[in-house]
Amino acid sequence: MNISILGSTGSIGTQALKVADDLKGIKEINIKAISGNKNVRLLEEQARKYCPEIVAVFSEEGAKDLKVRLSDTPVKVVCGQEGLTQVATHPESEMVLSSIVGSSGLVPTLHAIESGKDIALANKETLVTAGKLFMDKIAEKKVRLLPVDSEHCAIFQSLAGNRHNKIRKILLTASGGPFFGKTRDELKGVTKEMALSHPNWSMGAKITIDSATLMNKGLEVIEAKWLFGVDIDDIEVVVQRESIIHSMVEYEDLSVIAQLSLPSMKHPIQYAFTYPDRLPSPDRRLNFADLKKLTFFEPDEETFSCLRLAKEAGKMGGIMPTVLNASNEVAVEKFLKGEISFLQIGETVEKTLSEYKNIENPTIDDILRIDADVRERFK
């Protein structure tokens, strides 16, 4: 299978290349095009190892640098939004892995769908900010959409063979993050380092902070709403501390179907690459006797206001999820720079949401305009 990777130097992108290595001799994954943001050295390394035809670097400067570095190879280096489009629409790619962080992944992913590519979606912000337009485009172009988010991949697997049956609840699991069980008072002095150390998952900085505030789970509730066509009220967040059950589906007969595995993003990536087949993985297997127990709790939406805010924005629909997502992206950036405190992330999102009037059935231009407008407020 030929693929393009949007965001090959990030956490998902690098793990996807490892999965391609693991599958060698079982299923060949040919990397036709890749894109990165600023890590030019890693892009050079990847280009030499995987020999894609096109490498896109977002910045012009980075592209110039990479062009020089790869001048002894036939690799074509491109840049900017146009470069991302070339990666997303490479004529030989059958699938595009969308793993750019944040809403900047939206436009190139829409281009990929437009040109008939199957989508392996790791970029949840895309569905949060433009879920309806995105899903309509998927249906119109009749392409496959495979979720590369562990929870949504688990739900997708738990729905297999049951699509004709009514769902009672989607049980979306959450680890609870590094601050599980803490009070708001205890969260006042949280530092960047504390927020960046997740107990179960190793991920990029943005999603790790989102996991600490539970905004990640909030975004995932909205993501699930669009992926599986359910109401926000039919999605129940369950804290599963060990991150072994990746999510579950409860049916009308009260049967619950779950997917379990050790926490590794390589699992959902491989499933997207091999679907509908299940091919061997060299990773460690789940040993239940070692595990001994699984622990469950209800999420605390009062302390972790981001989860509540995301559900509210998801129910309102229109542009509110766009406002939620953009203000969260800005707030997380500010927190990582040390400009605001941990609790101010949720406060910033709440205040920004209150400042916008909703627009029903927004167009893609409305969404891009509101997204830019929210970011402009914080400049």
Chain residues in the site for Mn ion (CB under 5 A): 149-151
- Give the side-chain half-sphere CA count within 13 A for 114: 11
**151 versus 250: smaller Cβ distance to Mn ion:** 151
Please provide residue 119's backbone torsions phi and psi, each rounded to the nearest 5 degrees.
Answer: -115, 125
Question: E strands along the chain, which residues?
Answer: 2-6, 30-36, 54-57, 76-79, 95-98, 118-121, 145-147, 167-174, 235-240, 245-251, 256-260, 296-297
Q: How far does Cα 239 stand from its chain's mean position?
A: 19
Q: Rank residues 56 and 237 by Cβ distance to Mn ion and give the closer one.
A: 237
List strands edge to edge, sheet with 296-297.
256-260, 245-251, 167-174, 235-240, 296-297
DSSP state of 286: P
For residue 149, the minimal CB distance to Mn ion (Å) is 4
**Cβ closer to Mn ion: 53 or 149?**
149
Q: Shortest approach of Mn ion to residue 127 CB, angstroms? A: 12
Give the tokens for residue 179: 């601050």
Pick 22 or 151: Cβ nearer Mn ion: 151
The CB-of-211 to Mn ion minimum distance in angstroms stands at 8
Residue 115 Cβ, how far from Mn ion at the closest point, in Å? 27
Please, what is the minimum distance in Å from the beta carbon of residue 318 to Mn ion? Answer: 25
Nearer Cβ to Mn ion (167/215):
215
Residue 12 to residue 341: CA distance in whole angstroms = 27
